[in-house]
Structure 1
Amino acid sequence: MIRSAGPDEQSTRNSPEEHPPVTVPPQADSDGGAGSRTIPEASVARLALYLRMLGELAEQGTETVSSDELAAVTGVNPAKLRKDLSYIGSYGIRGVGYEVRALLHQLERVLGLNHRQAVALVGVGNLGHALAGYNGFGGRGFPVAALFDVDPDLVGIHINGIVVEHVSAIPEVCAAQGVTIGMIATPGPAAQGVCDLLVGSGVRCILNFAPVVLQVPDEVEVRKVDLAVELQVLAFHVARRHVAGHASASNGSAANGTGGNGRTRNGHASGVRTFPLVDGTTTSEGRA
């Protein structure tokens, strides 16, 4: 069955709150038992953040960390952090906190990082080339194992020691490399065909940088990264702060006896103040 992840769904794929809970597969827990736990998607995203900070603490030689300390460096509310960690069966020790390395390994297990997650990148243009050359993926447990493109000038070159293959080789190369995650950085029109090849090769998780909505089977997870949308969201916040600052300045002028139009006001003066809106238009407010 093919489903289409609509614009509203895929545009919020970067927002963890919009995802359904994730069930951690049955496996040995820290107490030696086995079981599965359902973790909210928002908590999963924060677990990845805790993992990154714990890795930095481990590199610094830190042995234990309190929930308040870990919450402070990750920018998360301490109570929320403790709740997140309780989903994976980690509660810390009163007065001591969490053992950094033990919690680090536990998070790696829960997030599936205790085994290799090979990544295939399709499209090595400007963005794709930058992604292919980024060494941070391998350091986080996501080595880029295969590169693909259709450009004759790119096929056959080496990036970070990996040869760029033609997209027609996706099925055999992905199978040989044990690819579990695909990244798509192609132009929009080519993305769906590339996605179909990846899915047909057994890839069930896709990170999509292409500006299109992909159609995928129900069992395939797609997360969309649209940098233009993220910039538009930031532009909204910039505009909102601008409006708030203008309103604050107008209120300050009013408190000093000067109206928004620069004329001196008294208790009986009348006039109209004009406020800019986020979309660039204006609205007027009468006063008596």
Structure 2
Amino acid sequence: MDHTIPEIVIGRLPLYLRELSRMAGESGKIKTSSHELAQRLGISPAQIRKDLSHFGEFGKQGTGYHISYLIERLTDILHLNDEWPVALVGAGFLGQALASYRGFQRRGFAITCVFDSDPAKVGVKAGGLVVQDAATMATRLREAGIRIAILAVPADAAQATADALVAAGVGAILSYAPVSLTVPPGVSVSYSDPVVQLQQMTYHLSIENE
């Protein structure tokens, strides 16, 4: 992986891939342009061209991008050719919803195991998977070689759970817990907090009303 490429650029690549995949589903559509992508995504054409230029040449000026080729290249760049197994920690209401969400598998990820520390949840099903005891998590993750985990636990349990995941060899964590995590260098953490996102939107709404 080229660590000189800004993280914000990497963060936009899945957006491009998602929109290109939607375009590929449109009857008869073979090519697109940075201007069309920009209109669909609300990103400037220059920014799109600059982002893609980090990874080589994908199209010629005036002729645009071949959609299927660009999808193939972005899939390679994001290492999505093979399905990634994912562990889900937390089988509460949010965990149940995440375990049942089929969008992960369509985009290269499969939740293959679910863990919880609550005895009342262990043994029940979440998204068709039997919830396992979190006490067995480290051993099972190592045996399966799972490197990605989704964290759907309360804030007060998040750091200890993240520590356990890292110790078990997990190198990437998507956290839904409303707290910042401390992880060693080389471990990637992303956050999904709808409250924070709503708070950002209320700021913009207040600016519009001034």
TM over 0.5: yes
Deviation at 1:75, TM superposition (A): 1.7
1:64 aligns with 2:21: no
1:34-56: per-residue Cα shift (whole Å, max 9, x none)? xxx83221211221111001111
CA distance in 1, matches of 2:61, 2:198: 43
AA at the equivalent of 1:84: D
Structure 1 residues 97-106 or 216-225, which shifts more?
216-225
CA distance in 2, matches of 1:66, 1:74: 12
CA distance in 1, matches of 2:83, 2:203: 39
Go from structure 1 to structure 2 and tell me whether the alpha carbon gap of 1:66 and 1:235 turns closer, same or farther (over 3 Å shift).
Answer: closer
Structure 1 length-normalised TM? 0.68
1:128-175: per-residue Cα shift (whole Å, max 9, x none)? 111111111111111111111122222112222211111112122222
In the alignment, what sits opposite 1:122? 89
Deviation at 1:238, TM superposition (A): 2.6
Deviation at 1:188, TM superposition (A): 1.4
AA at the equivalent of 2:134: V
CA distance in 2, matches of 1:240, 1:69: 29
CA distance in 2, matches of 1:72, 1:237: 21
In the alignment, what sits opposite 1:178? 145
Identical-pair percentage: 42
Question: What's the secondary structure of 1:217's corresponding residue?
Answer: coil
AA at the equivalent of 1:53: E
Deviation at 1:230, TM superposition (A): 1.9
CA distance in 2, matches of 1:173, 1:102: 38
1:54 aligns with 2:1: no
CA distance in 1, matches of 2:11, 2:187: 18
- Structure 1: stretches of 5+ with no match in the other structure: 1-22, 25-36, 245-288
CA distance in 2, matches of 1:187, 1:140: 27
Deviation at 1:59, TM superposition (A): 2.1
CA distance in 2, matches of 1:146, 1:90: 39
CA distance in 1, matches of 2:62, 2:182: 51
In the alignment, what sits opposite 1:102? 69
AA at the equivalent of 1:79: A
AA at the equivalent of 2:205: V
1:148 aligns with 2:115: yes
Q: Among residues 195, 202, 205, which one is paired with 1:228 in the alignment?
A: 195
CA distance in 1, matches of 2:9, 2:22: 20
**Structure with greater helix share of residues:** 2
Deviation at 1:209, TM superposition (A): 1.4
Larger Rg: 1
- Structure 2: stretches of 5+ with no match in the other structure: none
CA distance in 1, matches of 2:64, 2:102: 32
- Assess if the C-alpha contact under 8 Å between 2:96 and 2:127 holds in 1: no
Q: Calculate the aligned-residue CA RMSD, in Å.
A: 1.7
**Structure with greater strand share of residues:** 1
In the alignment, what sits opposite 1:265? none
CA distance in 1, matches of 2:4, 2:67: 24
Go from structure 1 to structure 2 and tell me whether the alpha carbon gap of 1:235 and 1:71 turns closer, same or farther (over 3 Å shift).
Answer: closer
1:203-253: per-residue Cα shift (whole Å, max 9, x none)? 0111111122322111211122222222222222233333x1xxxxxxxxx
AA at the equivalent of 1:129: Q
Deviation at 1:98, TM superposition (A): 1.1
Structure 2 length-normalised TM? 0.91
Q: What is the total number of aligned residue pairs between the two structures? A: 209
Question: What's the secondary structure of 1:143's corresponding residue?
Answer: strand
CA distance in 2, matches of 1:103, 1:38: 22
